Structure 1
Amino acid sequence: MSPDPAVFTTERLTVRPWERADRERAFDLYSRWEVARRLGSSPAVLDSLDAADARIERFRSSSADPRFGIWAVQRKDTGVVAGTVLLVPIPGGDGEVEVGWHLHPDSWGRGFATEAARGAVARGFAGGLPEIHAVVRPDNEPSMAVCRRLGMTPQGRTTRWYGTELECFHLPRPLTGPADEGIRAYGA
């Protein structure tokens, strides 16, 4: 079976659907407390390959809308999955869409989160989204730095989503020049 086609590519990354063949890497990523502690309202690590399979299946079926998804971020140079990037409606929101990322610690500090998120944001704007949000745990300075590199504006703390206090960031669709020019400038 051939791999699913890319959702989008960047200079160093291929963003594609998660595949069953990624199960060991998904388990290695999501079984680590240093990653899982920043995710969801009740953080928990994966405890088995079966749980990794279920996570991959959930990611693959995350949205019927083709603009949205939870995708694997694969390095072009090594073929290793560096982590996940997502562009999804915020659960419990009023139609707000968030960009997010979960990277394996062996891929931290290399700019992969910013690169993948920039591509996801460009995809969202190209798909007609008027704005994109990010929500980050208050102690997650590296992810807040990614938000700033994306040009997102801090909106302060909120408990509106995910049942926990989060820092909220906002990015409106670029409005300079023709709409597709602003998107192209952003990275699409």
Structure 2
Amino acid sequence: MFVRTRRLTLRPGWIEDAPELAQAIAHWEVIRNLGRAPWPYGLADAEAFLRQPRRTCEASFVILAHEGPCPRLVGGIGFGPYDDRPHEIGYWLTPSAWGRGYATEAGRAVIDIARTLRVPRLQGGHHLDNPASGAVLRKLGFVPTGTAMRYSRGRGAEVPCAEYALALSDEDDARMAA
């Protein structure tokens, strides 16, 4: 599945993307805010990630920005099972792409995909020391549902997190309002 927005292309990651993926994600400022990525992050980690089989209940994309003559890999986004949540949205951007609205633009596209796939509800979260991610979730219409401790592989520790949800069906919307 491919998605083209005004400034971005979202597509599945290919093994040929591994060097560019490793370069884009391998920043402590990125890894510290992710749950599953190891630190340090190298080429072998990117290759292993790109070789993972994907289940039908998840969608995973690299984010390519159309900033110059060739699209540039600037991040990743997707949704799928995470711990006890069946449809958790996750995203990251390389630091040079921060502050441009790419996460929100990519998030809107992924929410549209989730609706098309009849996902009733997306959940998300962010480490409390990463408020910018919370701002993205709120711009996308997610509402706070509480806080929890979540494990960050890169940090090697439990981290306090804010949790959010977005109802994508009328039935789930009524359930969330109750």
Q: TM-score range by the shorter chain?
A: 0.7 to 0.9
Aligned residue for 2:4?
Answer: 9
Aligned residue for 2:121?
Answer: 131
Show structure 2 runs of 5+ residues with no match.
153-157, 171-178
Q: Separation in 2 of the partners of 1:51 and 1:132?
A: 27
Partner secondary structure for residue 110 of structure 2 = helix
Aligned residue for 2:77?
Answer: 85
**Quick one: percent identity of the two aligned structures?**
28
Q: Report the CA distance between 1:30 and its aligned residue.
A: 2.5
Aligned residue-pair number: 163
Aligned residue for 1:70?
Answer: 60
- The residue type equivalent to 2:23 in the other structure is D
Kindly report which structure 2 residues correspond to 1:1-188, keeping only aligned pairs within 5 A, or say none. 6-40=1-35, 44-46=39-41, 48-58=42-52, 61=53, 63-65=54-56, 68-78=58-68, 79-90=71-82, 92-93=83-84, 95-159=85-149, 164-173=159-168, 175=170
Show structure 1 runs of 5+ residues with no match.
1-5, 176-188
Q: Separation in 1 of the partners of 2:104 and 2:118?
A: 21
Q: Report the CA distance between 1:169 and its aligned residue.
A: 0.7
Q: Separation in 1 of the partners of 2:95 and 2:103?
A: 11
User: Are 2:60 and 2:78, in contact at CA under 8 Å, matched by a contact in 1?
Assistant: yes
TM-score, normalising length: structure 1: 0.78
Q: Separation in 2 of the partners of 1:7 and 1:133?
A: 22
Aligned residue for 1:183?
Answer: none
Q: Report the CA distance between 1:37 and its aligned residue.
A: 0.5
Partner secondary structure for residue 147 of structure 1 = helix
User: Are 1:89 and 1:96, in contact at CA under 8 Å, matched by a contact in 2?
Assistant: yes
User: Are 1:100 and 1:117, in contact at CA under 8 Å, matched by a contact in 2?
Assistant: no
TM-score, normalising length: structure 2: 0.82
Root-mean-square deviation over aligned CA pairs? 2.1
